[in-house]
Amino acid sequence: MSFIGFILSLLISGLIVGALGRWVVPGPNPMSIGLTILIGIGGSFVGGLIAALIGGGIIIAIILEIAVAAGLVVLVSRRTAGRLSR
- The pLDDT assigned to 16 comes to 80
What's the mean pLDDT in 61-84? 78
Residue 5 or 86, more confident: 5
Q: Would 54 be classed as within a structural domain?
A: yes
28 within domain boundaries: yes
Containing domain of residue 51, as a range?
13-80
At 12-46, the pLDDT tens digits run 777 787 777 777 777 777 777 778 778 888 888 88
Domains contained in the chain, number? 1
The answer to whether position 20 is within a domain reads: yes
Residue 5 maps to a domain: no
Q: What is the mean pLDDT of the chain?
A: 78
Nearest to 51 by CA among 61, 63, 66, 40: 61
- Name the nearest CA neighbour of 36 among 23, 17, 18: 18
pTM of this prediction? 0.68
Identify whether the C-beta of residue 60 lies closer than 8 Å to the C-beta of residue 6.
no
The DSSP letter of residue 27 is S
- Cα separation of 68 and 39, whole Å? 9
- Strand, helix or coil at 62? helix
